[in-house]
Amino acid sequence: MKGGKNMPLTANNKGGGDFALIPEDLHLAVCYGIWDIGTQFSERWDKSVHKVVIVWEIPECRGEFERDGKKVSLPRVISRKYTVSLGKKADLKRDLESWRGKKFTDEELKGFDIKKLLGVPCQIQIIHDKVDDKVYANISAIIKAPAGTKLIPENPIKFFSFEEGGKIPEGTPEWIMDLIRQSEEFKNPKSDEPEEHEKDSEETVPF
């Protein structure tokens, strides 16, 4: 990505199963998964844009899931898909600033390492939206967690970036896999030539 307002990888709520909706409320949550889904074509804007999916656990809302052949109680999760940008009108910039509890400085806008969000707590405002005959639990706001909040993800931390390479994490939800497969990067992978990483750590800031 070039320019100070576009972010390298240095939301859209997808529900599933037969679980009841996550209640409308302000919930404590913690980020445990970030997937770069590459360059996706946007019908709304009639252009291709770089997208990322961020996923949070909500510890107080739980469900029974099967893991390694056993039923276990785990937090419900919710996600949002974002354009990877810190532009003035970008949803990601707005939510990150609300999550941080402060505005980005001009220097910080030159680059933010999204991976730093993993394991960071926050508060998520859930609302229910009706579309046609279905009701969905969606994220309406992300807010800084109260001081001293400590949440450790119960699900394994998962991260994937086309720019950093590596394999897509085992256990990646199928709907995220479908989005990754639709990306330009997946359809037209880069060659195996060595990549330059000298600048990866520059201009990144702690969350």
Any domain includes 7: no
* In-domain check, residue 162: yes
- Residue 201, pLDDT > 70, answer no
Q: What is the pLDDT of residue 65?
A: 83
| 203 within some domain | no
- 205 near 108, Cβ under 8 Å? yes
Domain assignment of residue 200, yes or no: no
pLDDT confidence tier of residue 5, bands split at 50, 70 and 90: low
Q: Find tokens 């086309």 and name the residue.
A: 162
Task: Give the pLDDT of residue 141.
Answer: 97
Q: Is the pLDDT confidence value at 122 over 90?
A: yes
pLDDT digits (tens, 9 = 90+) for 67-97: 888 899 999 999 999 999 999 999 999 999 9
Structure-token pair, residue 34:
């970030």
For residue 110, is pLDDT > 80? Answer: yes
Do the domain assignments include residue 204?
no
Question: Is residue 37 situated within a structural domain?
Answer: yes
**67 class by beta-carbon count within 10 Å (0-12 exposed, 13-18 middle, 19+ buried):** exposed
Between 101 and 196, the more confident residue is: 101
- Looking at the predicted structure, is the pLDDT value of residue 143 above 70? yes
Please state the domain count of the chain.
1
Report how many helices (DSSP H) and strands (DSSP E) the chain contains, helices first: 3, 6
| Of residues 44 and 85, more confidently modeled | 85
- Assess if residue 167 is contained within a domain: yes
Residue 12 domain-assigned (yes or no): no
Q: What's the chain's average pLDDT?
A: 85
Q: Which domain holds residue 158?
A: 25-187
- Here the tokens at position 79 are 């996600």
pLDDT at 4 over 50: no
Mean pLDDT of 17-28: 85
pLDDT at 177 over 90: yes
Q: What is the pLDDT of residue 204?
A: 35
First to last CA, the chain: 20
Q: Give the residue from 99, 132, 121 showing the smallest Cα distance to 91.
A: 99
